[in-house]
Amino acid sequence: MKLRLLVASLAALFALQSGAVLASSTKSQSAGKTAASKPAPKAPAKAAPKKAVSSKPAPKKAVAKPGTNAKPAAKKVVARKAVPAAAAAAAAPAALGADEDAPLALDANGLPLLGSSAFYVINQNTGEVLLERNGSAVVPIASITKLMTAIVVLEAGQSLSERLTITEGDIDRLKGTGSRLALGTTLSREEMLQLALMSSENRAASALARNYPGGESAFVEAMNVKARLLGLWDTRFRDSTGLNPGNVSSPKDLARLVAASAAFPLIREFSTAHERYVDVRGRMLRFGNTNGLVRSPEWAISVSKTGYISEAGRCLVMQAWLQQQPVVMVLMDSSGRYTRTADAKRVRKWLEQGMPQRLAVAPQRAGG
């Protein structure tokens, strides 16, 4: 009996130990499963960086393959070529002007590299456009305005000998520019007109408008009416001096304005005169031409006008005779102080060296 009790006790003890072992094994397997599930998130996390790393070359391949991305690179090259050309013109204007034998810089199309942002060059006899960039862009025109000022003055038929006086109303309160025409200066309308065209005297241009029938507002209205009559649809005037940046036009319109100005003998004479001495309150003062090219014997210029305000940059318009043909040049927003005249020289050299047939096809026309 005791033996049976002993065997039963041993069997129960064995069963109890087996259950504990089984429970321990179950917990171990459960912990193993939990530990195995943790790397699962890490595995995708590790895979994600791999994908991210592999995704970086993808954009590089995409950039290298499309042709559209290769074209902008070409545009940048063109822009880089144009900027140094303009900078060189601005940095060495004397060399450009003096060395006529220097090689002419051309672009890929064989056109001269110019430092002006917008230009328009036309054979006035044939109407052929010889050079153009941004020809339809409407931009501030600064003192190029004074060509229209002169047209309105001359068409009004007022006496050129009438004496006009500089007053407070002629002081530039918009830009604050100065003038050698002191308050109280009295000059003839003819002298005022020449100083406005030749030396770009703002007070002279203002006095001309003030002494127009109806005053300055009527004068500006007459300027805009004349612009419409000439077909200058891109052109608007706000004042007679060009100091107002609201005076705008396009290079194409300005070419027409230059051609119209050439029909007036006094505009041809006054805009291309080298200098004039006038009596300013008892002192004889010399006024020179703002375009140095008119003094060069190598140029035959019939109409000339320069302009500058910060909004317009440095501008130059001319009617010049090349190979007995009238060529109108409009150079707007040049990059430096001397670039506009350097550009004019480049245009002339290019026309004379490479395009003589374009200038010789039209019959000669008398007059300016």
| Token couple for 303 | 């109409």
Q: Is 33 a catalytic residue?
A: no
Contact criterion met (CB below 8 Å) for 256 and 127: no
Catalytic residue of the set 117, 146, 249, 334: 146
Beta bridge partners of 306: 316
Look up 146 and say whether it is catalytic: yes
Residues 267 and 243: beta-carbon distance below 8 Å: no
State the catalytic residue, choosing from 199, 200, 250, 302.
200
Q: Is 217 a catalytic residue?
A: no
Task: Compute φ and ψ for 89, nearest 5 degrees.
Answer: -65, -40
CA atoms of 191 and 159, how far apart (whole Å): 12
Structure tokens at 202: 């703002």
Q: What are phi and psi of 320, to 5 degrees?
A: -125, 145
Residues annotated as catalytic are 143, 146, 200
